[in-house]
Structure 1
Amino acid sequence: MSKDRIYNQSMAKIADFSFDAQVADVFTDMIERSVPGYRAILTMIETLTEHYAQPGSNLYDLGCSLGGATLAMANGMNAENCTIYAVDNSSAMVERCRKIMQRSVHTCAGVHIDSADIREVEIADASVVVLNFTLQFIPQSDRFQLLEKICAGMRPGGVLILSEKVIFKDDHLDELLAGIHHDFKRAHGYSDLEISQKRSALENVLIPETIPTHRERLLSAGFSSVDVWFQCFNFMSMLAVK
């Protein structure tokens, strides 16, 4: 696993963050040192797949990056005759994801990896759909339509697992949890320069929302039950049941 050093030198101009080859090379290290509870979420995606995957259904990892959630779903698969679709719009991520899946012989069968915009992917006969820190990178104006499409393409009893960085209406709480998150990153070896420069790179790319905003949108999109099952600081994961 390559170490993330993308922002460790002072930059005169900081470009918007993108999931290019440079990020793909260090993505595993980057996300594990940046997102509190990331491994726990993957472990529970495996467990939730055991509970909710229905025989003969489709499962989707939308914005799959290197396929962490894809592998979790594959490892948790108990239902027969299921197909997993892993989709990402970054060709660099998809290329590396395919290599990772090829090395995981026991999971590669029944997994299809595609490079595409998730807003254009057809969702059909789905029992489990994962958006693992993906929706935050979709323009806010497109988020409801995407979630509505996902819900419409699900079987009754199907679930969406939605993980996101979030903000809080209470300014004190928002500042407190953002500060604790920066402390988390420092504890995992990031310098203040790296934290500052990456924050600038993400400012116009990753747009977080509040937990109530996510909940209300999911209910409006057609899900019957929505609640938070995991939260650590300003990161959370929701389970939405059709």
Structure 2
Amino acid sequence: MRDNVHPGEKWEFNGEVAACFANMLERSIPDYRSMRALTYKLGERFIQPETLIVDVGCSTGLAVEPFVVKYGQSNNFLLVDNAPAMVEACEKRFRADVNVTVRQGNIWEYLPFEQKSSLVLSVLSMQFMPTSYRPRMLKQIYDGLTDGGALIFVEKILSENMDDLMVDLYYEMKRENGYTDEQIMSKRRSLENVLSPLKAEWSVDMMRTAGFRQVDMFWRCLNFCGWIAVK
């Protein structure tokens, strides 16, 4: 379904958003398909048999789906989101997969994990959490990983020196993808105080402080960035 959402005063991941979420991501995240492909190719290098695979802020399950397809018989999955409409869509996507558990709530309610994890995905999700929660979240994720396990962390970021330019180019991309100026500005207003991006170096510092000693950027496009952090 095509994204024609006109958000209210405060952004919500409601049923209207869930219905068009795939289209929204394709048209709103620069180089989205490359990021998704790299997330899968990197992630599968770290999956260990009979370990847990976790998706923090799973939304409708798009990011984790290729992992379920390949590893759904050998690994357990925990997918968590706090938006009821997203959880409902995710449950429908994986209703035939007995090793996939979908839960509604905040991820910290499920930390520490009941089973050691070899891969944790946080794809465009932690940016919606209060910044004060993020260091503790990353530390608990680190503690729950097996040795050699990995976190794949994708976020919207603040540019170091040219944030206005990056944002202008980002909005230009959205216009090229069919969004009107009114839609762009309406979404921007609704996301204020809901989405809180950080500078890239701050996210790297948080991962290192949590205990990750191998942290590397694997993808960047405009004001979006992806890292892999290995325990």
TM class, shorter-length: over 0.9
Residues 1:49 and 2:43 aligned together: yes
Flag as ranges the 4+ runs of structure 1 deviating above 6 A.
Answer: none
Q: Deviations over 1:7-40 (max 9, x none)?
A: 2xxx8xx411011112112211111110112222
Please report the RMSD computed on the Cα atoms of aligned residues, expressed in angstroms: 1.6
Q: 1:142: which partner in 2? A: 133
Q: Deviations over 1:59-92 (max 9, x none)?
A: 10110001011202223539x7311111111111
| TM-score, with structure 2 as normaliser | 0.94
Q: 1:157: which partner in 2? A: 148
Q: 1:130: which partner in 2? A: 121
Contact 1:164-1:208 within 8 A present in 2 as well:
yes
Q: Give 1:90's match in structure 2, choosing from 83, 90, 99.
A: 83
Superposed, 1:28-43 pairs within 5 Å as 28-43=22-37
**Partner SS for 2:163:** helix
Name the CA distance, whole Å, in 1 between partners of 2:92 and 2:31: 25
Letter in 1 for 2:61: G
Letter in 2 for 1:147: L
Contact 1:228-1:239 within 8 A present in 2 as well:
yes
Q: Give 1:68's match in structure 2, choosing from 62, 69, 74.
A: 62
Residues 1:121 and 2:110 aligned together: yes
Q: Quick one: percent identity of the two aligned structures?
A: 34
Number of aligned pairs?
Answer: 229
Residues 1:231 and 2:220 aligned together: yes
Name the CA distance, whole Å, in 1 between partners of 2:37 and 2:23: 17
Contact 1:162-1:239 within 8 A present in 2 as well:
yes
Name the CA distance, whole Å, in 2 between partners of 1:47 and 1:148: 25
Distance change in 2, residues 1:42/1:75 (3 Å): farther
**Partner SS for 1:128:** strand
Q: 2:4: which partner in 1? A: 5
> How many angstroms does 1:239 deviate by?
0.3
Q: 1:168: which partner in 2? A: 159
Name the CA distance, whole Å, in 1 between partners of 2:41 and 2:160: 32
Name the CA distance, whole Å, in 2 between partners of 1:109 and 1:64: 17
| TM-score, with structure 1 as normaliser | 0.90
Q: Give 2:93's match in structure 1, choosing from 87, 100, 122.
A: 100
Q: Which stretches in structure 1 are left out of the alignment for 5+ residues?
A: none
